[in-house]
Structure 1
Amino acid sequence: MKDLHSKVKRTVAIGCAVLSADNTPAAIDLQGYDSAEILLDIGVGGITFSGTNKIEFVLTHSDDDSTYTAVTLADMLGLASVGSGGIIKALTSAHAAAAVYRFGYKGNKRYLKLLADFSGTHGSGTPIAASALLGNGFSNPQADQA
């Protein structure tokens, strides 16, 4: 069996919580790594999503952790398109079962931020968690995170 464990590090992008409003995105520092995968876990929708009552997951990147710009399709893997402003996933219709999603980042910026952008009315929250899996580290093996 091959060893993936020693070659990756996982960091929190959105802490596991039931959300009904925007999160405050934390900066994900990619320094020392040549690859990143955004892992998004979404539970059963707290509401029936629509074009008005929705959650859009917006990914931005930065060289200096100060000025962030939206990612584009050229920065990403595993997507057919990226919405305006860096939308990599949008919940705009019923989300009746828990699901996981992953998106590869191949851009060349040092920092990433992931925002769960809520629009409309969300009387009940939706369980959400997201992390970044950092790979191809310059210094392996990576420390255990158990």
Structure 2
Amino acid sequence: MRDLHSNVALATLIGAASLAADNTPGAVDLLGYSSAEIALAIGIGGITFTSSNKIEFVLTHSDDDSTYTAVTDDDMIGVTGISSGIIKSLTSAHAAAASYRYGYKGGKRYLKLLADFSGTHGAGTPIAAMVIKGNPEVAPVADQA
């Protein structure tokens, strides 16, 4: 079996939590890596999502960690029809936990992910998001255990 462990690193975009309002996105630095995969884990919806009571996941990127712009279809793999950086929308019932993944190929150094809540969310929805950074310039990558 080949060794993936020594060739990837993880960084948190959204810490695992039950959210009922927008998170404050922190920047993830991709310096030293030439590929990235966004992993999004969403639990059972705290509400029944609709077109007005929804969560939209907005991915932005930057060269300088100061000026962020929304990703487009050209920046991503595994998702199309991106508008205003929205890579995933919850607009209907989310009755079971699920995981989603999206490849980032935009080439910028920094990423941020916003869970953008619209409408009324009386109960939280469990959410977590990570970046899997791959193809390191220097390997093996240090353990993160």
- TM-score, normalized by the shorter chain, greater than 0.5: yes
Deviations 1:32-52 (A, max 9, x none): 000000000000000000000
Count of aligned pairs? 145
Q: Write out per-residue CA displacement over residues 41-76 of structure 1, whole angstroms, 9 at most, x where no aligned residue.
A: 000000000000000000000010000000000000
Query: 1:5-20 alignment to 2 at 5 Å?
Result: 5-20=5-20
The residue number in structure 1 matching 2:133 is 134
Whole-angstrom distance in 2 between the partners of 1:9 and 1:129:
16
**1:46: which partner in 2?**
46
> Is residue 2:2 matched to residue 1:2?
yes
Shift of 1:145: 1.0
Quick one: which amino acid aligns to residue 127 of structure 1?
A: P
CA distance in 2, matches of 1:113, 1:36: 13
Structure 1-normalised TM-score?
A: 0.98
1:80 Cα deviation after fit: 2.6
Query: How far, CA to CA, are the matches of 2:124 and 2:143 in structure 1?
Result: 33
Residue 21 (structure 1) aligns with: 21
Secondary structure class of the residue paired with 2:16: strand
Unpaired segments ≥5 residues, structure 1: none
After TM superposition, the structure 1 = structure 2 runs for residues 1-146 of structure 1, keeping only pairs within 5 Å, are 1-82=1-82, 84-146=83-145
- Ranges of 4+ aligned residues in structure 1 off by more than 2 Å: none
TM-score (norm 2): 0.99
- Distance in 2 (CA, whole Å) between partners of 1:8 and 1:96 is 32
**By how many angstroms is 1:85 displaced?**
1.1
CA RMSD of aligned residues (A): 0.5
